[in-house]
Amino acid sequence: MKAIVVAVGFILICLGGCRPTSAEPTLSELKSKAVSALKRGEIDTAITLFLEVTTRDPDDFVSLTGLAGVYSDHKKDFGRAVSLFERAIKINPQYDMAHLGLATTFVAMGNNAAAIRQFKRTAEVTTKPMLKNACRQYIQILEEKRGTPEKKQ
């Protein structure tokens, strides 16, 4: 009889919101773990965690941007990084960090013309004055490197 009472009590608790310990982590927990792994230098773990987030929520533009940054900065897989940054931008065209990441990836690829265009776009969408100024400085540096300033639009 005692076992039945305990079992019924457990069922009632679970119906009231109990989460078994084997439940999947929340997206927020996965993102936090991915960032922590990245900070510890566990690049492959960070990729795995970001991939899980973006598989469960394909519209998570912040995680797509994080994943793209890992591919660009740590794996030097620029093609994949560009694709992921572009996906993030398609979901949220105003997300300045995706634009910035794409710009810096273009710099790493040696595509200064595309980098200049993307830094300009970053400066247009950001509300952060320091980022806007940094983008202008990068544009100036890249234009000087090319030898010809890009025409003002």
Domain extents for the chain? 24-146
List, in order, residues 6 or more apart from 136 with CB less than 8 Å away. Answer: 119, 123
User: What pLDDT score was predicted for residue 146?
Assistant: 79
User: What pLDDT score was predicted for residue 24?
Assistant: 87
Instruction: Kindly state the tokens that stand for 112.
Output: 């200064």
* Total-model pTM: 0.80
Instruction: Kindly state the tokens that stand for 13.
Output: 């608790």
Q: Nearest Cα to 146, choosing from 103, 114, 102? A: 114
Tens of each residue's pLDDT in the chain, 153 residues: 554 544 444 444 444 445 545 588 999 999 999 999 999 999 999 999 999 999 999 999 999 999 999 999 999 999 999 999 999 999 999 999 999 999 999 999 999 999 999 999 999 999 999 999 999 999 999 999 877 555 544
| Type of residue numbered 73 | D
CA dihedral for 120, 126, 131, 133, sign (positive or negative): positive
- Architecture per CATH, domain 24-146, reads as Alpha Horseshoe (1.25)
User: What pLDDT score was predicted for residue 14?
Assistant: 47
